[in-house]
């Protein structure tokens, strides 16, 4: 009888250890599953962003958009042709 009780205790201990290992493995699996879902979500967002940017590029070329504005110097903007003639703020023959 003592021998059988000892076997029962051994089996119970083995069951408890197996349950602990199973719980740890389940926690690891759930964590990995959550990380996978988050990575898939990030990949989906990145893919959508990439498609959107590609669509924007294709749309801007397809519409015949004007090229980027070229840089102009400040001097060329103030060459006197684009603005009215300068006025003297203190004319000599006013007084």
Residue 37, pLDDT above cutoff 80:
yes
Task: Identify the weakest region by mean pLDDT among 8-17, 43-52, 69-78.
Answer: 69-78
**Does any domain span residue 91?**
no
**Does any domain span residue 41?**
yes
**Does any domain span residue 3?**
yes
**Does any domain span residue 90?**
no
**Does any domain span residue 25?**
yes
The pLDDT-based confidence of 89 (bands split at 50, 70, 90) is low
**Does any domain span residue 29?**
yes
**Does any domain span residue 66?**
no
Total domain count, the chain: 1
**Does any domain span residue 68?**
no
Global pTM value: 0.51
Of residues 76 and 31, the one with the higher pLDDT is: 31
Residue ranges making up the domain that contains 26 = 1-48
Three-state SS sequence of the chain: CHHHHHHHHHHHHHHHHHHHHHHHHHHHHHHHHHHHHHHHHHHHHHHHHHHHHHHHHHHHHHCCCCCCCCCCCHHHHCCCCCCCCCCCCCCCCCC
């Amino acid at each position: 009888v003592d021998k059988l009780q000892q076997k029962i205790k051994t089996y119970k201990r083995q069951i408890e250890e197996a349950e602990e290992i199973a719980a740890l493995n389940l926690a690891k699996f759930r964590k990995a599953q959550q990380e996978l879902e988050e990575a898939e979500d990030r990949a989906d967002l990145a893919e959508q962003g990439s498609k959107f940017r590609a669509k924007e590029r294709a749309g801007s070329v397809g519409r015949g958009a004007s090229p980027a504005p070229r840089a102009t110097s400040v001097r060329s903007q103030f060459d006197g042709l684009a603005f009215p003639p300068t006025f003297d703020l203190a004319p000599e023959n006013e007084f």
